[in-house]
Amino acid sequence: MNPDLLKLDIAIARYGHTSALLSGDVPLSGINANFLNINPIIAAFRRMVRGVEFDVCEMAPATYMIARSMGAPFKALPIFIMRRFHHSGFVVQPKGPVFKPKDLEGRWAGVRAYSVSTGIWTRGILQNHYDVDINKVSWMVDDEEHVQELVLPSNVHHVKSGESLVSLMAKGELQAAFSGPAGIGRAGAPKDGWDSNSAAEVAYPELFPDHQAIEKSWYDDTKIYPTHGLIVVKDSLLKEHAWIAKSLMDGFEASKNIYTKRILNGDCETDIDKNYFKLSKIVGDPLPYGVKANLPAIEALMKYCYQQKLLPKQYDLEEMFVPL
């Protein structure tokens, strides 16, 4: 260990674009990085929000913004860890009554937690691009929010003991729900696991069955490429060692460039690689970093969080992101 380097505890997951950092192939200038293996990484989000346990941490962007609005002593770097569009993964009952977005008004929909990023993005799309009054939708959740102090809107309800989003969807008490990690059938949650008697036997149709074409058109019109995951750093470290922001940015960028160069040349090893390659045909760089390159997405997410009563006001960029 070089005593001249600043030791930082860093909690990030291993992705294709962070692997060169984690392996040490890409060093962080001036930093002795102690990379912590926290599995699942979502546990690190909560530990950082609730106990500020790490010097640098990956975090869901909405979780971060909510925590920051409540005085959390860390600030974001514009390093965005995951990307995807959000017209898919929102399913409805096969026989209705929801056939189009506006039909959601007056209905019940399920999502793992109200502040989960997927839910925020899709609700924002429904409200701002399909004229859905999301305050007229009753949202059922079955998990706790990362930020415990968050007061949820009155149209958000927790499932009763013994119930789950899966069981409520199976009984028809939910007319729509998020699938995958944001809702029904999410991985790593045995209480919602599929079995031969569960809703897994039902083929729930997507609200947007032609979502790929819609997503491309939506991006072409808005230039919004939804963000998932960003990097936060303790305020105290940024104050005492302002240079670490650029060091981290440069290191993450270099690691990412190694990855994107490989996959954009068609060397795709995993389904995730293949998905980013496919996304690159729409957006160019599938993992853009920096505020300028992500301004439409950043502004949209802050707007959506405010509209959905997760933030008390609309914030300026400088209040949420370290200027780089």
pLDDT in tens, 42-67: 999 999 999 999 999 999 999 999 99
Per-residue model confidence (pLDDT) at position 253? 98
Per-residue model confidence (pLDDT) at position 193? 32
Q: Which fold has domain 6-84+225-320?
A: D-Maltodextrin-Binding Protein; domain 2 (3.40.190)
User: Alpha helices, DSSP H only, in the chain?
Assistant: 19-23, 42-51, 61-69, 117-129, 165-170, 211-222, 235-240, 244-264, 271-283, 291-307, 317-320
**Mean per-residue pLDDT, 271-278:** 96
CA distance 196 to 192: 13
- Percent of residues, the chain, with pLDDT higher than 90: 90
Per-residue model confidence (pLDDT) at position 195? 30
Task: Give pLDDT tens digits for 85-107.
Answer: 999 999 999 999 999 999 999 99
Task: Give pLDDT tens digits for 239-256.
Answer: 999 999 999 999 999 999
The SS3 call for residue 42 is helix
| Cβ contact 21:252 at 8 Å | yes
Nearest to 263 by CA among 17, 13, 12, 20: 17
Beta bridge partners of residue 280, listed in sequence order: none
Per-residue model confidence (pLDDT) at position 181? 65
Task: Give pLDDT tens digits for 111-121.
Answer: 999 999 999 99
Per-residue model confidence (pLDDT) at position 324? 85
Per-residue model confidence (pLDDT) at position 198? 34
CA distance 129 to 116: 20
| Cβ contact 260:17 at 8 Å | yes
Q: Per-residue b/e over 155-183, b at no fewer than 16 CB within 10 Å? A: ebeebeeeebbbbbbbeeebbbbbbebbb
Beta bridge partners of residue 140, listed in sequence order: 110, 157
Per-residue model confidence (pLDDT) at position 317? 95
**Mean per-residue pLDDT, 286-298:** 97
Q: What is the DSSP string of 73-121?
A: SEEEES---EE--SSSSEEE-TT-S-SSGGGGTTSEEE-S-TT-HHHHH
pTM assigned to the model: 0.91
Q: Which amino acid makes up residue 314? A: Q
Nearest to 88 by CA among 202, 180, 203: 180
183: pLDDT strictly greater than 80: no
Per the prediction, the chain carries an average pLDDT of 92
Nearest to 179 by CA among 99, 93, 115, 103: 93
**Domain spans, the chain:** 6-84+225-320, 90-218
| Cβ contact 125:106 at 8 Å | no
Q: Per-residue b/e over 93-131, b at no fewer than 16 CB within 10 Å? A: beeeebeebebbeebbbbbbbbbbbbbbbbbbbbbbeee
| Cβ contact 22:35 at 8 Å | yes
Per-residue model confidence (pLDDT) at position 201? 41
Q: Which amino acid makes up residue 92? A: V
Task: Give pLDDT tens digits for 122-143.
Answer: 999 999 999 999 999 999 999 9
